Amino acid sequence: MGKAPGIGIFDSGIGGLTVAAAIRQALPRERLLYFGDNAHVPYGERTAAEILEFSTAITEALLSQGCRSIVIACNTASSAALGPLRAKFPHVPFVGMEPAVKPAAEQTRTGVVGVLATRATVESKALAHVVERFAHGVEVIQQACTGLAQRIDSGQFDGPELEALLRGWIEPMKARNIDALVLGCTHYPLVRPLIERIAGPGVRVIEPSGAIARRLAQVLEQHGIAAPADVKGSLDCWTSGEPERFTPVLNYLGLGRVEVRQALWRNYGSLELG
């Protein structure tokens, strides 16, 4: 049995595992290499220059492990780094993320939709661009959820404190009559049950991991790097933080037992996947 060309997937932490899970389900023969930069989370509070520096080093490390394509499973890193990374690595197919404003704008009946995202994403040109392109005649309420990704990354998935924080953002949107709420950060699907409880039955919660997996399938076909029919897929994980933090999330996402290895940032800004 041969080996599939690897697909590198990265995020600032555990959030991108929600995307990895969708890819694993849609493309079970692919060999996935996931890196969570938990040592540097949250990216959403960093500058675009810092995020680009980390994303470049992560891409180099994943390519050196044999990856032939890269999925940026992080809205924040996609907004800050997707364009420059495509320019720097012109032969590598990248799949990036953007908040799912398009399906929300297509589905809304009230004409008002909400977006929850990190501060960096809300302030990015990338989000302004999707709103401009896809939300004609639709009001898009954008909420920067400072501190949310970090709480989730440290293992907080429910509880009164998190609920109060989310209510403070979602209730005002409900008062303005949203009927769709976009999760514009890959960490947020990990608290989807809580978000749905607060948003209520009249608000559709939308996140794009399934669409990303479908897009990746097209990109792999176009570049002739899809896994051959006779191989068995796999998922390998690395983190620059604490490997045991991944366990509850891998279980929650039904990814089963996966070995999570320690990765190290070197002083000169390069990443070593051990």
The candidate with the shortest Cα–Cα distance to 37, out of 16, 67, 66, 65, is 16
Catalytic residue among 67, 74, 145, 237: 74
Backbone phi and psi for residue 219, each to the nearest 5 degrees, phi listed first: -65, -40
11-19, 122-130, 207-215, 252-260 -> range binding ligand DGL (CB under 6 A): 11-19
Q: Does 179 bind ligand DGL (CB under 6 A)?
A: no
DSSP symbol at 243? G
Site for ligand DGL in 192-251 (CB under 6 A): none
22-30, 38-46, 194-202, 205-213 -> range binding ligand DGL (CB under 6 A): 38-46
The candidate with the shortest Cα–Cα distance to 213, out of 21, 62, 36, is 21
Number of residues forming the site for ligand DGL (CB under 6 A): 16
Q: Which of 12, 55, 59, 142 binds ligand DGL (CB under 6 A)?
A: 12
CB of 19 to ligand DGL, least distance (A): 9
Q: Does 185 bind ligand DGL (CB under 6 A)?
A: yes
Q: Does 5 bind ligand DGL (CB under 6 A)?
A: no
CB of 240 to ligand DGL, least distance (A): 12
56 vs 76, beta carbon nearer ligand DGL? 76
Q: Are 16 and 8 in contact (CB under 8 A)?
A: no
Q: Rounded CA gap, 21 and 26, in Å?
A: 9
185 annotated active-site: yes
6 vs 16, beta carbon nearer ligand DGL? 16
145 annotated active-site: no
Sign of the dihedral defined by the CA atoms of residues 269, 82, 8, 122, in that order: positive
Q: Are 116 and 143 in contact (CB under 8 A)?
A: yes
39-47, 193-201, 203-211, 265-273 -> range binding ligand DGL (CB under 6 A): 39-47
Q: Does 76 bind ligand DGL (CB under 6 A)?
A: yes
Q: Where are the alpha helices (DSSP H) in the chain?
A: 17-26, 48-64, 75-88, 101-107, 119-122, 125-134, 148-153, 160-175, 192-199, 209-222, 246-252
Q: Does 18 bind ligand DGL (CB under 6 A)?
A: no
Q: Which of 56, 142, 143, 186 binds ligand DGL (CB under 6 A)?
A: 186
CB of 191 to ligand DGL, least distance (A): 12
Q: Which of 56, 121, 124, 142 binds ligand DGL (CB under 6 A)?
A: 121
Residues 46, 214, 61: CA angle, nearest 5 degrees: 45
Q: Which residues lie across from 116 on neighbouring strands?
A: 143, 183
68 vs 238, beta carbon nearer ligand DGL? 238
Tokens of 233: 């897929």
Tokens of 141: 């309420």
Tokens of 102: 């398009």
Q: What are the residue numbers of the active site?
A: 74, 185
Positions that interact with ligand DGL (CB under 6 A): 11-12, 15, 41-44, 74-76, 118, 121, 149, 185-187
